[in-house]
Each structure stands twice: as structure tokens, then as C-alpha cells.
Amino acid sequence: CKLIRPLRLSLQLGTGEKLDLYSWLCMSLLFSTLWGQATPQCPDSCHCAWETATVLCSDAGLREIPEGIPPETVSLHLERNYIRNIPESTFSHLVHLRDLYLSHNRIDSLSSGALRHLGPDLRLLDLSHNQLRQASREEFGSTRAKTRLYHNPWHCDCTLQELMETLNLEPETVNGIICESSVRGEHAGQPLVKLLDSGVNFCSLQRKTTDVAMLVTMFVWFFMVIVYVVYYVRQNQAEARRHLEYLKSLPSPRKTPTETDTLSTGF
């Protein structure tokens, strides 16, 4: 207001009253400042629709989750970017979030608890068309949102099976969850759900594999013990033979004349 102090003009109001132009400009500046502070700020490279609490960051060339996402956000679009991972607690402040779109990125890892703090209001979680190979229940937490995980190069094992049994997978896309690799090679290229429906149990396979590994380890340990015992016995036998040969090689002691006379005369 100090900059506009020289403008001491007056405005004629309809009732004949006058309003000082200086006061009017100061009030306008104050209101605009307060309005700017009250209005949420939209993250860089994103577009925000405040009337629907939607944040649009699609096709923005992002390589990480942008900072400054308004906590009032209900729908967050981050699809078709270059995001590679999701740090822990990234969305913990978005307590009103209902729809989270992360498809068509390069996400290949989820930090422990990355999605654990998503609020109970979450309805849709889209992680399709990424580079995810492994994921666990700890990373998703207790979310009951409809989840899309198709078109990822999944490695099918017990951990993934347990995750599939926990999540609320979208029925229309569940057959798109394909095992690119697995603990057994013959399952590669097949839909995970069909394998589970056919009776394949990756957890039992893992337990069998673990049992076999333990059996092999015990056998190797037992074999090494036997080898050591045999080596120890043979080594002692060799030492005993060498010692006996040494004793045989020593000259026998000669009898003295006194001893000979004593033996010949008796007592």
C-alpha cells in the first residue's frame, strides 16, 4: 500500500459518498493475497480441477511422484510417465484419495509400505503396464481397493500367490496377470489365476524346495564329517606306524659285566 499512497484519488459512489482510491486498492490487494493463500497449489507439470478434487499429471514426463499434491485430492492421475519406484509413505497425506492411476510407467519396485498408508476410501488402484516382477502383502497393506496388476513381467512364487489371495483384483483384468517366470519353468507364460485354479500351489512347491535344500545341506555336512573322521583316523595310524618304525630302528641296549655275573651265579 505504500507504493500506491500517492494515488489519493476518490471515487464517486451512487449515493453521493466518496471512496478513497487508496483504501480501495489496499482492500483489493489484501483480499487477493488472502485468496491466493487459501487456494491450494497445484504441483508443477500438473493440472488441477478443484471442483472435482482431481489432479492430472498424465503425460507430463515425470520421473518420480511430484511433491505438493494437495491433501484434498480425490482422484490422482499419474499414468503414462517415466516413474520407476514408489517411495514409502508417498501418499500418506492423501486421506481422501479414491482413485490412483499409475499405469503405463516404468515402476519396477515398491518400497516397503509404499501403498500401506492409502486411506480406506480408496476404490481403484491401477498399477497395470509397468515393470513389476515381485510384490508382497507388506507393500500393499490392508487396502481393499479394486486393483489392476495386469501387463507386468511377474515372477510367480509363493509371495505373489499370497498377495493375489489378499488383494481385491479387478475381475475383468485378472487373466492378464501372466507368469513371465516362475519357480518351475513349465508355468512361464500362463495366467496366474488359471494356474491357481488348476491346483498349482507355489507355496507348497517352495516348501518342498526348501525341504530338499535342507536335506542336501545335511547330507553334505554329514559327508564332510565322515571324510574328516576317516582322514583323522588314517593320519593317526600313519603317525603310529612311523613311531613304531622309529622305535624298531633304535639299537638294543647291551648288558654290562656285572649284570652277566649276577645272572650266572644266581643269588
Side chain identity at 82, as an amino acid letter? Y
Q: φ and ψ at 232, to 5 degrees?
A: -65, -45
Report the C-alpha gap between 6 and 191 in whole angstroms.
77
- Flag whether 258 is in a domain: no
Determine the pLDDT at residue 18.
Answer: 46
Determine the pLDDT at residue 9.
Answer: 45
Does one domain contain both 214 and 115? Answer: no
Q: Provide the residue-wise pLDDT of the chain in tens; the chain has 267 residues.
A: 544 444 444 444 444 444 455 565 556 565 444 444 456 799 999 999 999 999 999 999 999 999 999 999 999 999 999 999 998 888 989 999 999 999 999 999 998 878 888 888 899 999 999 999 999 988 888 888 999 999 999 999 999 999 999 999 999 999 999 999 988 778 889 999 999 999 999 998 655 455 556 666 776 777 788 887 877 777 777 777 777 776 667 676 665 555 555 545 554
Q: Say how many CA atoms lie within 13 Å of 188 toward its Cβ.
A: 10
Backbone Cα Rg of the chain: 41
- Flag whether 93 is in a domain: yes
Cell numbers 498349482 correspond to what residue? 200
> Considering only CA atoms, which of 157, 154, 76, 61 is closest in space to residue 115?
76
DSSP 96: T
Domain count along the chain? 2
Determine the pLDDT at residue 145.
Answer: 94
Does one domain contain both 136 and 211? Answer: no
Which residue range is the domain that position 227 belongs to? Answer: 201-237
Does one domain contain both 185 and 55? Answer: yes
Does one domain contain both 82 and 177? Answer: yes
Does one domain contain both 160 and 214? Answer: no
